[in-house]
């Protein structure tokens, strides 16, 4: 399984870009999985639902299983960044052709930085050695390949070539 990431500040368009790329990869016959890093507390449960009640009661893990999907919710007691755990989490995925990482700026896998000049945020490629290209809305001063953030076909082709899937 190949692993490739997308990083950048919140609001840069990582999710929208990935949402546009996944159908292009699937059209190529690839099986795609995704792991998203979030700095925010999140909850897939709604208060009052059975799984929420079980977690609130102290269950460390709650698995929801139906005829169409399953999900495992695991409560982490540590307050550390999950990046070191990423290798372990990858082992939980079913076999696929490409795992897309969203976020995980400091993870060792190659990635594209998603950058919007209009956000007013600095680029991260200078301090992130695994960034191999920048998808941006305007040209920037950067020695790495620059891709138009709106040209999903070109970005998909770059990822496929870079990972050896093309």
pLDDT confidence of 62, banded at 50, 70, 90?
Answer: confident
pLDDT confidence of 72, banded at 50, 70, 90?
Answer: confident
More confident residue, 86 or 153: 153
SS3 per residue for 100-111: EEECCCCCCCCE
- Does residue 119 register a pLDDT over 90? yes
Q: How many CA atoms lie within 13 A of 10 on its CB side?
A: 4
pLDDT confidence of 126, banded at 50, 70, 90?
Answer: very high
**Alpha-carbon dihedral angle through residues 156, 153, 131, 164, given to the nearest 10 degrees:** 30
Q: Quick one: pLDDT at residue 83?
A: 58
Q: Quick one: pLDDT at residue 96?
A: 96
| CATH, range 2-37+82-163 | 3.40.50.300
Whose structure tokens read 């620059």?
A: 146
- Does residue 120 register a pLDDT over 70? yes
What are the pLDDT digits (tens) for 29-40? 999 999 988 766
Q: Quick one: pLDDT at residue 16?
A: 96
- Does residue 141 register a pLDDT over 90? yes
All structural domains of the chain with their residue ranges? 2-37+82-163, 43-80
In angstroms, the CA 29 to CA 91 distance is 22
Please state, rounded to an integer, the average pLDDT across all residues of the chain.
Answer: 90
What sections of the chain are H helices per DSSP?
Answer: 14-27, 50-56, 86-90, 152-163
Q: Quick one: pLDDT at residue 76?
A: 72
In angstroms, the CA 166 to CA 158 distance is 9
Task: Identify whether the C-beta of residue 144 lies closer than 8 Å to the C-beta of residue 155.
Answer: no
């Amino acid at each position: 399984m190949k692993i490739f990431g997308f990083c950048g500040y919140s609001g840069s368009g990582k999710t929208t870009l990935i949402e546009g790329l996944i159908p292009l990869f699937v059209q190529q016959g690839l099986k795609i999985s995704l792991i998203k890093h979030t700095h925010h507390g999140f909850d897939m449960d709604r208060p009052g639902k059975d799984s929420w009640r079980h977690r609130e009661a102290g269950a460390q893990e709650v698995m929801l299983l139906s005829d169409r999907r399953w999900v495992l919710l695991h409560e982490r007691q540590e307050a550390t960044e999950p990046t070191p755990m990423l290798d372990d989490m990858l082992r939980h995925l079913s076999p696929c052709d490409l795992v897309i990482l969203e976020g995980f700026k400091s993870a060792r896998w190659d990635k594209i930085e998603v950058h919007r000049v209009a956000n007013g945020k600095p680029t991260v490629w200078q301090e992130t050695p695994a960034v191999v290209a920048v998808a941006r809305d305007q040209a920037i001063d950067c020695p790495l390949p620059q891709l138009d953030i709106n040209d999903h076909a070109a970005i998909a082709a770059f990822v496929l070539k870079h990972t050896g899937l093309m």
